[in-house]
Structure 1
Amino acid sequence: MTQDRTFDIVAIGGGTAGLVTAAGGAGLGANVALVERDRLGGDCLWTGCVPSKALIGSARVARHVRDASAFGLGVPRQEIEAADVLSSVRDVRAQIEPHDDPERFRAMGVDVVEGAARFVSPHEVEVDGRRLRARRFLIATGSRAAVPPIPGLEDAGYFTHAEAFDRDTIPGSLAVIGGGPIGVELAQAYRRLGADVTVVELLDRLMVREEPELADLLTSRLRDEGIRIRTGRIVTRVDRAGNRRRVTIAPPATAEAGPGQEGRAETFDVDEVLVAAGRAPNTEDLGLDAAGVETAGGWVTVDSRLRTSRKHIFAAGDVTGGFLFTHVADHEARTVVQNALFPVRANIDYRVIPWCTYTDPELAHVGLTEAEARDRHGPSVSAHVYDIGNLDRAIAERAAMGRVKIVVGKGGRILGGHILAPGAGTMIAEISLAMKVGVKLGTLASLVHPYPTMSEGVKRTADAYRRSTLTGWRKSAVDLALRIGRALPP
């Protein structure tokens, strides 16, 4: 068994948090090791962000081709070759893969170690017989799709997003278990590529973390595209039915449920089942007990500086169970680099965390929903809305569906922003920046936006806020100014 020098930091996990920590640390002159048991790039490159957006892009084009007549174009109906679509998705992934190539990181000075790391003490991990000792460690092993214990599911067969992009077929019919971002994104993409799709969600609506009225608008859009949505239902079992799967769903059992509830169950047959019902942490094989690192439900617990119960061991990314987004893992890794390598410490800042679900239209979110804001800040809260369908650019793009909703507190301080629109993930950055630096909503009304763009939706919402403030003495002041203006000579 060999042991190397003592590293400044060893990052365990080659996803976003590990990669950013390794690159940032090495760039600052630290001795860094990066351990990965599979392939650098993590869920984002291989089974998440990159291939899913490539598939969504293909599905969007398929939709545009079918709707070409709305643009005055006569395009013959095209047959979708699933193998070609999925091959193109893998081509996109291959183009981005070099960004996370091990040799690229070795050229930065990172010791890239291939294998599974396991703590053998608070200051050492073992990787295939090699021991790595470090002053600091980062646990960044990420998460995986959680599979609920549904009777019959294992025997009947299913797939998750982790397998979706290495297949060569689009199922003729599909049941999606879970109505969160992953389930909804893939449901729409598969539907546009020709699948008959049913989404089953335990809660009473899809996308429960989102502003309800925007989530409801998106749900209506999905239904209009032919997706069957069964909310307030749980999958009670899945059985083989020849070459297909028979899915049984029912309302969830409650203490108030009376006799006969079982009669409300329903069944339907599909070719395949996609499970998108949450995430589980990748911590079971890390030897965390030997390191003295505490967990809660398998998720690594951290403080405001991203330190675990062992202060020299940090954790970032999905494995902490917080915001399970690539951009948050990047944000956390930058904080880890500072706190692990330098004497000036920083607390992680989660005050302004935007996110986006990449449906069509996209659904973006930052800050509080209206209900959350009213619970926290009381009657001073107001919400201001603008329908995207009124924008000239939306009409020109034949995309006149969506909404901007901005929630403000006393004095126009922005508490939350929510956008359902094409490009919402880009549009939300303006609201995020305003929240970060304390720019009030009224100020956004005076910002010049290029015409015609979707971003004008933010400006129009700010205009609506300004108009809402013209009451009481402000309205009287405006009326007085108008009277004075009319009395002045031209």
Structure 2
Amino acid sequence: MRHYDLVILGMGSGNMLLTEEFAHLRTAIVEADRFGGTCLNRGCIPSKMFVVTADAVEEAESALRLGVRAHVDPVEWKAVRDRIFRHIDPLHDSAVDYRRKSGVDVYLSEARFIAPKVLEVDGEQMTADTIVVAVGSRPIVPNTPGLDSVKYHTSDTVMRIDELPASMAVLGGGFIAAEFGHVFSAFGVKVTILQRGPRLLMAEDEQVSARFTELAAQRSRVLLNATVTSVAPHGDGVSVNVACPDGQHVVEADSLLVCVGRTPNTDRLNAAAGGLELDKHGHVVTDSAYRTSVPGVWGLGDAVNHFQLKHMANAESRVVRHNLLHPQDLRTLTNRVAPHAVFTNPQIASVGLTEQEARRRGMDYLVSVRDYAATAYGWALEDTGSFAKVLANPADRRLLGAHVIGPQAATLIQPLIQAMALGSTVDQVAGDVLYIHPALTEVVEQALLAL
């Protein structure tokens, strides 16, 4: 039985742990798929590279609002796809080679606990003084009748298809559905989105969610309050039976994309045998320092938290690295407010409380909404649908939440994230800072000043 000082399970954000401070340890890393995890290979990075291409298409097609006549020839899907993965695919082999040359044992296989702090990998048993569980998550595949009889895609596979379908049914209405709905509709695919709830992006602020649903319905068919009752083959494609408030619908499409959420990969670890406590969603339970229920075993990323955000996993990796190196000086994340963005069209970004959550909690709050169209740069964009929204506590005058829908939302929200993290008051971030005129950041400034 091999023994290690440190074993890391999962090479997404887990790969960030291994800095030169650990070079003196006997270390192993175990990855069942590819180095870089979901983000690099099947998630954030390639999807945003597709989004940038889709943005370019839609910007050209909408340029007439600026007095520019432009058109887009059919998108060369294979050229776009191959350009993207030509950047990404070589990184796995180079990462494995780098780790092995630096003296780390690399196992390209699945690990399972057979006892606390005892793992089985490739039929071998190994133990370790310290284990970090960072095995990530995967797409949920629902138990929809007939789904196993048709060809379908998830976010793991849809970016590598060989040909663009003429039509696509998208099962789900969250982040992934919004982003891929944007990409494929921009590329000329006839997209139908099937959403169980009354709006798309239900986790967003109601006002943002409603505006996005309205805009998405202008470019795609959107069925709301829709329950998929069954799926069946239809020629080379699929037939989806959907129950809606106005009756039954049959959606026929050449391709089906299933994106109804993600689940942690902890079920593949035999976590119970390892003594790890899991919550009802399958996440490894940790304390604020990311220690699990087993001394010497730590966790981070999608296997631990519910955010499913790469920047959160990266922050957790930095905390865990410090705690492994300095067990007498444990750190926690200093800011638990987790911002996020949805890279669809229009782009969306959010941090903190939504207005509906503030109401649900019975909190006192002030709210301000400012349209892009109220700013000089918004005029330049001829933007009529975007806005920034901020909520604040009237007692201490600090921000409770911020929500932006429109061009560059993920960038515009950053000073509001910093204000919340640093405890700045609305007065400080609105009045004590100069905002460049006539930059788009004035929409943030104006929303704050109105508070």
TM-score interval, normalised by the smaller of the two chains: over 0.9
Partner of 1:284: 267
Partner of 1:22: 18
Q: Give the gaps of 5 or more residues in structure 1.
A: 252-260, 466-490
Native 8 Å contact 1:51 1:92 kept in 2: no
Q: Using the TM superposition, give the Cα deviation of residue 101 of structure 1 relative to its aligned residue in structure 2, in angstroms.
A: 1.7
Distance (Å, rounded) in 1 between the aligned partners of 2:334 and 2:202: 24
Going from structure 1 to structure 2, the CA distance change for 1:350 and 1:170 (only over 3 Å counts) comes to farther
Kindly indicate whether residue 2 of structure 2 is the aligned counterpart of residue 3 of structure 1.
Answer: yes
Q: Give the gaps of 5 or more residues in structure 2.
A: none
Native 8 Å contact 1:22 1:34 kept in 2: no
Kindly indicate whether residue 297 of structure 2 is the aligned counterpart of residue 303 of structure 1.
Answer: no
Going from structure 1 to structure 2, the CA distance change for 1:336 and 1:135 (only over 3 Å counts) comes to same
Kindly indicate whether residue 49 of structure 2 is the aligned counterpart of residue 49 of structure 1.
Answer: no
Partner of 1:432: 417
Kindly indicate whether residue 296 of structure 2 is the aligned counterpart of residue 312 of structure 1.
Answer: yes
Partner of 1:477: none
2:306 maps to amino acid: G
- Give a deviation string over 1:132-191, Cα, whole Å, max 9, x none: 432211111111110111111110221111001211222111111100000111011110
Partner of 2:184: 190
Secondary structure of the structure 2 residue equivalent to 1:265: strand
Going from structure 1 to structure 2, the CA distance change for 1:65 and 1:99 (only over 3 Å counts) comes to farther
Q: Using the TM superposition, give the Cα deviation of residue 377 of structure 1 relative to its aligned residue in structure 2, in angstroms.
A: 5.7
Q: Using the TM superposition, give the Cα deviation of residue 286 of structure 1 relative to its aligned residue in structure 2, in angstroms.
A: 1.6
Native 8 Å contact 1:45 1:93 kept in 2: yes
Partner of 1:353: 338
Native 8 Å contact 1:282 1:319 kept in 2: yes
- Give a deviation string over 1:293-318, Cα, whole Å, max 9, x none: 12234322222222222132111111
Map residues 5-404 of structure 1 onto 2, 5 A cutoff.
6-7=4-5, 9-16=6-13, 18-23=14-19, 26=22, 31-94=26-89, 97=91, 101-106=95-100, 110-224=104-218, 226-251=219-244, 264-296=247-279, 297-342=281-326, 343-376=328-361, 378-379=363-364, 381-404=365-388
Partner of 1:464: 450
Kindly indicate whether residue 402 of structure 2 is the aligned counterpart of residue 417 of structure 1.
Answer: yes
Native 8 Å contact 1:23 1:108 kept in 2: no
Per mean C-alpha deviation after superposition, the further-off stretch among 76-85 and 407-416 is 76-85
Going from structure 1 to structure 2, the CA distance change for 1:462 and 1:39 (only over 3 Å counts) comes to same
Native 8 Å contact 1:413 1:441 kept in 2: yes
Q: Using the TM superposition, give the Cα deviation of residue 114 of structure 1 relative to its aligned residue in structure 2, in angstroms.
A: 2.4
Secondary structure of the structure 1 residue equivalent to 2:329: coil
Native 8 Å contact 1:11 1:22 kept in 2: no
Partner of 1:445: 430
Native 8 Å contact 1:23 1:105 kept in 2: no
Partner of 1:476: none
The Cα RMSD (Å) is: 2.2
Native 8 Å contact 1:197 1:227 kept in 2: yes
Distance (Å, rounded) in 2 between the aligned partners of 1:187 and 1:333: 32
Native 8 Å contact 1:24 1:334 kept in 2: no
Going from structure 1 to structure 2, the CA distance change for 1:454 and 1:132 (only over 3 Å counts) comes to farther
2:391 maps to amino acid: V
Larger Rg, first or second structure (1 or 2): 1
Secondary structure of the structure 2 residue equivalent to 1:236: strand
Partner of 1:480: none
Per mean C-alpha deviation after superposition, the further-off stretch among 186-195 and 307-316 is 307-316
Going from structure 1 to structure 2, the CA distance change for 1:57 and 1:99 (only over 3 Å counts) comes to farther
Native 8 Å contact 1:306 1:348 kept in 2: no
Q: Using the TM superposition, give the Cα deviation of residue 406 of structure 1 relative to its aligned residue in structure 2, in angstroms.
A: 0.7
Going from structure 1 to structure 2, the CA distance change for 1:441 and 1:122 (only over 3 Å counts) comes to same
Going from structure 1 to structure 2, the CA distance change for 1:155 and 1:293 (only over 3 Å counts) comes to same
2:265 maps to amino acid: N
Give 1 or 2: higher helix fraction: 1
Partner of 1:479: none
Q: Using the TM superposition, give the Cα deviation of residue 94 of structure 1 relative to its aligned residue in structure 2, in angstroms.
A: 4.3
Secondary structure of the structure 2 residue equivalent to 1:162: coil
Q: Using the TM superposition, give the Cα deviation of residue 397 of structure 1 relative to its aligned residue in structure 2, in angstroms.
A: 3.2
Native 8 Å contact 1:26 1:108 kept in 2: no
Going from structure 1 to structure 2, the CA distance change for 1:279 and 1:334 (only over 3 Å counts) comes to same
Going from structure 1 to structure 2, the CA distance change for 1:373 and 1:31 (only over 3 Å counts) comes to farther
Distance (Å, rounded) in 1 between the aligned partners of 2:102 and 2:444: 41
Native 8 Å contact 1:14 1:140 kept in 2: yes
Per mean C-alpha deviation after superposition, the further-off stretch among 298-307 and 441-450 is 298-307
